[in-house]
Amino acid sequence: MRYIWFRSIREKIQSWFTQPPSSESEDELIELPARLKDELLKRIDESAPPPIYKTTILEAIAPAVESWRHRIDAPNHLVILASAAESIPKIINDSFEDWEDWSIEVISPLNTLKRPYNPRLIEKRISKLLEPYLQVKITNFEAADDDTEIPLDQRRKTLVLVPQLEQCFLRSIGGWSSVDYLREIIFKNPNCFWVIGSSHPAWNFLDFVCQISAYFDQIQLLPELDDEMLADWLTPIAEKLVTLDKPDRSSNDPRQAYWELIASQSSGIARVAQYLWLESLQIHGDRMQDESGESLDLKKLLRVEADAKQKLLLHPVKPSLPSLPSLTNLDRYLLHATLIHTTITRSHLAQTLGEAESQIQARVQWLSRQGILESRDGGLRIHPLYYDKLRVDLSHNNFFVGDD
């Protein structure tokens, strides 16, 4: 379906291959200074996720919680599945910041959960984080639902967020028994409703090794973002700092297809789209010099623009995803393991492959220099710009990635 959609707009964007989307000549445009790009990326990361994500989650939660509070046999969970390129914990936590149902308490006991060095201790770490919350029984399960004289909706008043299921396991010997433990906790606590966030690769892996979807079948997928959603989300954030050169909608300006191409190439994934969009923004070369021809740093540049009572003008050029470099089999094993866990430390990465950390260090460094791996949240993860092409490459080389 995605391929058909891309072909349907091919004629509309054909002119992009012969002329730039910006009104400026590409010869006059240069890449954004690294500091400006970092500042824009920081502002996007600090902003709320696309509104449609929050709407989708809350609209799925409402009927599920309502059913759970009034039907004793209703499921007490909802799984939120998204691309591994997304920041799923941020999406889930932000969605519940403005929770308006005061009859239900929202708790996040596993918000700080990080895999311990020894994956066999994950279960103990989960138990320790749950222990302070009296609403959740981790022992004496028989007492979890013994107040049968109290009306059901008065007993069921707690919503528990598990923002990142990937932190609850490691692909190693005994490394996913902690998921079985968490599953037991959830089912032995019917008076708590559990919202579980997971990436597609992690869920597909857990479904393969422990049939997790047989136990958790109430699932909500995050939607793909279209061109209008992406433009409405990213443009206002950027324009707090800069001005964006926009197409003239009354003409045949080829830039009108700009956001459609962003949406198509990013597969509608927010974090892929934001990086692709940033890579497509350029600046007029003359703006980077003062009247004497001396180069301006970002601070001086923004001050010059402020003195002129205007914001820095950025121009979009044709967006394109980078190509994957030639990968070895070891590279693919490393990247596949990273994909499954979303974020993983070097020591855990070595454990998943049964190797000493020193044996994988050189390839990890090379993949990082190539830009495929990035350091984030205290570990390694796949850079969003390589996400789709890597999934295709792994699938073609007989690595199980499943649907996304």
Answer left, alpha or beta for residue 50, where phi above 0 means left and psi between -120 and 50 means alpha. Answer: beta
Q: Which residues of the chain register pLDDT less than 70?
A: 1-27, 141-147, 245-256, 285-311
Cα separation of the two ends of the chain? 14
Task: Let me know: does 214 contact 178? Beta carbons within 8 Å.
Answer: no
pLDDT of 313: 77
How far apart (Å, rounded) are the C-alpha atoms in residues 368 and 195? 33
The fold for domain 329-397 equals Arc Repressor Mutant, subunit A (1.10.10)
Sign of CA dihedral 265, 271, 275, 281: positive
Closest CA to 314 of 266, 359, 280, 348: 280
CA distances from 19 to 6, 9, 13, 16, 32 (A): 19, 17, 10, 5, 20
**Full-model pTM:** 0.86
User: In what helix (H) or strand (E) does residue 324 lie, and over which residues does it extend?
Assistant: none
Task: Let me know: does 202 contact 340? Beta carbons within 8 Å.
Answer: yes
Per-residue pLDDT of 170-186, as tens digits, reads 999 889 999 999 999 99
Closest CA to 109 of 95, 127, 122: 127
Amino acid at 80: I
pLDDT of 317: 85
For the structural domain made of 51-221, what CATH number should be given? 3.40.50.300
pLDDT of 18: 35
Q: What angle do CA 78, 80, 81 make, to 5 degrees?
A: 140
Q: Can you list the positions of beta strands (E) in 134-190? A: 158-162
The domain spans of the chain are: 27-49+225-316, 51-221, 329-397
Closest CA to 171 of 196, 212, 202: 202
Based on C-alpha coordinates, what's the Rg of the chain? 24
pLDDT of 128: 96
